[in-house]
Structure 1
Amino acid sequence: MKRPLPQAAGAAAAIVTIATMALTACAGPGTSGPAPTASRSSAAAADGPRVAVAYAGGVLVLDGRTLEVLADEPSEQFVRLNTAGDDRHAFVTTSQGFQLLDLRTPELTGLVVKAAAAGHVVRHAGKTVLYDDATSDTTVFETADLAAVDGALPEARVIPGVEAHHGVSVVLTDGSLLTTVGDESARTGIRVTDAAGAEIAVSDECPSVHGEGTAKGEAVVVGCEDGALVYRDGTITKLDSPDAYGRIGNAYVSEESPLVVMDYKDDPDAEGYLLHRLALVDTEALTLKVVDLPDGVEYTWRGVTRGHDGEALLLGSDGRVHVIDPATGEVTASHEAIDPWQSPAEWQDEHPALAVAGEVLYVTDAERRRIVALDVHTGERIAEAALPVTPNEIVAID
């Protein structure tokens, strides 16, 4: 029997104007960021692709065509990056909350959505959704309103959480909210409520729930320590891993495809962060299968994304970008990108990452402080540049 879960405070959601903070950003003690290689006044046209690269002490903004550094914005020693979904902004997660980075200006603005523990950012159905792990509160912006920001953040809807945990929320087209359930001791599943806060579906069959993705037909997938949950058309379905321990923590989706690619860890005692298998979920057939990667090809959660045709793009530890059929797991092509690399000692440590914007795939090389741009279809090298810092996380906008 499923144990009852606490009622969410969906009906208590409030429309508020998110407070902003004017921050004086600075590098951490003993850290000196490099001087920008280009002033903002000499920046390239603002309508092209842009890339943001986090490093220990700040964030670089690059021209997506030339890979020229357009801005170097000081920040904290460890920050995370998430696109806002508006082809203009990214959110930089700091100890203060979610700070808005304008990649078009470019500058790290003083606009901050306060959060005690800024967590996941989700973009779907014209909404940009922020989750605070310290409160489990969900903040919902209209993505179009973020794109029009001019000196102040737009109004947002805040949905109060129930019990604080490391979680995530998704708002669907009909206004329903899917959010994770947990507390300080454990994360157990998901709960879905309609726009008025009434419960639609709930499941506590997802130990260590983490990560999410929304596929074709608004099928939402979240990872579990022993499989995945799929929410579709008002029903939650549990898909079991084939192994006793088969942890899934991240979902890589295309909203035009029912097929979801997920990371997969089958050894709880494995050292390092390199993985050698993928989980493939079909949200229409409601199936989950696990496939092995070719010998010598391993990856981290930071090294998978989806291409324009729904294919999976995986940056292997062999330094190549492997194109993978999400239906079969077959590697259909491989492209040279960077030199081979090894697992980071900790998940936060600098290691290679990739991001797609438009027709271009960007790959960072942490050890050699470089970034390369490849044609997402052919793998042809378009541009390459040295970086003045060691790159960590990366996001790109078209």
Structure 2
Amino acid sequence: MKKRTLHRLAAPAALLTASALLLTACSANSTAGTGTDGSGTSTSTGSSTAGPSAGSPQPRLAVSYTGGIAVLDGTTLDTLAEFSTEEFTRVNAAGDGRHVFVTTSEGFQLLDAGTWTAGGTSETAEPELTDLVVEAEAAGHVVRHGGKTVLYADGTSDTTIFETADLLTADGELPEAEVVGAPDAHHGVSVVLEDGTMLTTIGDSEGRSGIRVLDADRAEVAVSDQCPGVHGEGTAADEAVVFGCEDGALLYHDGEIVKLTAPDAYGRMGNAYVSETSPLVVGDYKNDPDAEGYLLSKVALIDTEAQTLEVVELPDGVEYTFRDVARGPDGEALILATDGSLHVLDPATGEITESFPVIDPWEGPAEWQDAHPALTVNDGTAYVTDPPTDSVHAVDIATGEVTATGTLTAPPVELAVAAG
């Protein structure tokens, strides 16, 4: 285990080691204001200055598109700011209600959405794309759980662990972080539990095979290599953690790793959609290794208490990609399907209980990075992107009513919520 306090990059690049985790300055041209007219460009260096107080948290939405990111008001979906970025970026909530990590070729860049709550008071300010970057070779997954925000660098398999609360007050520099290395670099993911236990994937340049469990002192206490192609994780109620495999899933709970075998010889689960108040996990599922494209028509249902995995076929016309599943405020699963509807699925039975038309029918992407409809949830609101119309919709999960629509300057790709 090693600790580092992250600072701005001051030493010459030749003095830096491959595993060093440093803060690097990265220019960001922002278009700030209440609209999208392009007025008021600036380059920011840290978190924004507090503005007027609000009576309750004011969510904001970060939406990526080719070459940029827009920050929208989470209620009205008015555009508050736009920032120029690399051609393709990914966005992940930092977990503190205020910041979003933007994945770039340099690492994880911190976007201040300009909304937060501290000491019971909610504040808002102008959004800023800061120049604070956690350097990472092939920046990958961001996981939030148990008061920790965990970043994974695929190029080195270093895991960077922040106290989530410390990110809220980041002003000009990032807080201290723990950095945990790995034997071999691979496309992986890590999660840290409330007692400090760390679960992390095993792999190398040839493939991925399972998970390791490290105690709070980072000594290995459990391991499993029974998860070919391990990908994605999710933490359900009572800190039951699920990792997807090409033949089912691994379940970790109370110090024990259990293999949940898929009903098909090839039964890949690559993403776990969880509610931390429910023992039920919904996973994407693919049972044809030769199938082309990214659309899926089945889901895996995992009961972490009963330690079971079941596969459910969705109704005709209900297909989705990895961007189109989320969990609602009552633990229900939400699927934004190719028929244009938002479907509510009971994770206990696999039955669709309600369907709400939201956008026009759509086809799957040629490449996973391509803009296609995406879904994320904050409290009782589902945010749905509609790339053909350059728009984002806010949907009341209880009624299916579209409560707001925002129009962007380009097709939206990914979205993340800063809850305020």
1:46-105 deviations in whole A, cap 9, x for unaligned? 741101110010111001111111111110111111100111011000000000011113
Q: Distance in 1 between matches of 2:103 and 2:147?
A: 21
* Cα separation, 2, equivalents of 1:37 and 1:69: 13
- CA distance in structure 2 between the aligned counterparts of 1:37 and 1:387, rounded to whole angstroms: 16
Partner of 1:396: 417
Q: Determine whether 1:289 maps to 2:310.
A: yes
Q: Secondary structure at the match of 1:120?
A: strand
- Equivalent residue, structure 2, for 1:25: 28
> 1:307 — aligned with what?
328
2:166 aligned residue (135, 145, 156): 145
How many Å apart are 1:13 and its aligned residue? 2.5
- AA aligned to 1:23 is C
| Match of residue 81, structure 2, among 71, 79, 92 | 71
The alignment-based identity, stated in percent, is: 61
Displacement, 1:272? 1.1
Aligned to 2:103: 93
Post-superposition shift, 1:45?
7.2
Amino acid at match of 2:4: I
Distance change (3 Å), C-alpha of 1:44 and 1:251: farther
Q: Which amino acid aligns with 1:376?
A: I
Distance 1:226 1:37, change over 3 A: farther
- What is the SS of the residue equivalent to 1:294? coil
Q: Is the counterpart of residue 126 in structure 1 residue 115 in structure 2? A: no
CA distance in 1, matches of 2:172, 2:137: 23
**Structure 1: 4+ residue segments shifted above 6 A:** 37-41, 43-46
How much does 1:359 deviate?
2.1
Deviation per CA, 1:108-148: give whole Å up to 9, x if none: 11000000110100000000000011111110000000011
Deviates more, 1:221-230 or 1:266-275: 266-275
Q: Give the letter for the 1:13 counterpart.
A: K
- Work out whether 1:14 is the aligned partner of 2:3: yes
Q: Distance in 1 between matches of 2:86 and 2:389?
A: 22
Match of 1:265 among 280, 283, 286: 286
Q: Provide the rounded CA distance (Å) in 2 between the counterparts of 1:81 and 1:135.
A: 21
Query: Offset at 1:362?
Result: 0.7
Q: Residue deviations 1:226-270, cap 9 Å, x none?
A: 100000010100011101111110000000000000000111111
Whole-Å separation in 2 of the counterparts to 1:363 and 1:211:
22
Letter matched to residue 85 of structure 1 = G
CA change 1:397–1:377 in 2 (3 A) is: farther
The Cα offsets for residues 173-223 of structure 1, whole Å up to 9 and x where unpaired, read as 111110000000010000001111222211000000000000011010000
| In structure 2, C-alpha distance between the alignment counterparts of 1:378 and 1:254, rounded to whole Å | 21
Greater Cα offset, 365-374 or 246-255: 365-374
Instruction: Say if 2:52 is the partner of 1:49.
Output: no
Alignment of 1:240-279 (within 5 A): 240-279=261-300
| Larger mean Cα displacement after TM superposition, 361-370 or 120-129 | 361-370
Gaps of 5+ in 2: 8-21, 31-35, 43-48, 115-125
In the other structure, the counterpart of 1:31 is none
Amino acid corresponding to residue 51 of structure 1 in structure 2:
L
Alignment equivalent of 2:398, drawn from 362, 377, 380: 377
**AA of the residue aligned to 1:91:** F
Which residue in the other structure is 1:350 paired with?
A: 371
**How far has the Cα of 1:271 moved from its partner?**
1.4
The equivalent residue for 1:221 is 242
Helix, strand or coil: the match of 2:266?
A: coil
Q: Secondary structure at the match of 2:347?
A: coil
Residue pair 1:182, 1:188 contacting (<8 A) in 2 also: yes
Contact 1:261/1:312 (<8 A) preserved: yes
Q: Does the 8 Å CA contact 1:302/1:353 hold for their aligned counterparts?
A: yes
Which letter maps to 1:111? L
Q: Find the counterpart in structure 1 of residue 185 from structure 2.
A: 164
Whether contact under 8 Å (1:36, 1:69) holds in the other structure is no
Moved more, 161-170 or 45-54: 45-54
Contact 1:212 1:221 in 2 (8 A): yes
Tell me, yes or no, if the aligned pair for 1:37 and 1:69 is still in contact at 8 Å. Answer: no
Q: Is contact 1:306-1:312 (8 Å) kept?
A: yes
Checking the alignment, whether the CA contact within 8 Å between 1:38 and 1:70 is kept in structure 2 is no
Matched pairs, number? 380
Say whether the 8 Å CA contact 1:36–1:71 is kept in structure 2: no
- From the superposition, tell whether residues 45 and 73 of structure 1 become closer, same or farther in structure 2 (CA, over 3 Å): farther
- CA shift for structure 1 position 166: 0.2
Letter in 1 for 2:313: D
The TM-score normalised by the length of structure 1 is 0.92
Q: Note the residue ranges of structure 1 that are not aligned, 5 or more in a row.
A: 1-11, 28-33
Structure 2 counterpart of 1:3: none
What root-mean-square deviation, in Å, do the aligned CA atoms of Structure 1 and Structure 2 show? 1.8
Local SS of the residue matching 1:164: coil
What does residue 122 of structure 2 align with?
none
Letter in 2 for 1:74: S
Partner of 1:58: 68
Q: CA 1:372 to 1:38, structure 2 compared with 1: closer, same or farther past 3 Å?
A: farther
Aligned partners of 1:39 and 1:70 also within 8 Å = no
CA gap 1:75/1:287 in 2 versus in 1, 3 angstroms: same
Give the TM-score of the pair, scaled to structure 2: 0.87
Q: CA–CA distance in 2 between the matches of 1:37 and 1:358?
A: 33
Kindly state the Cα deviation for residue 38 of structure 1 after the two structures are TM-superposed.
9.0
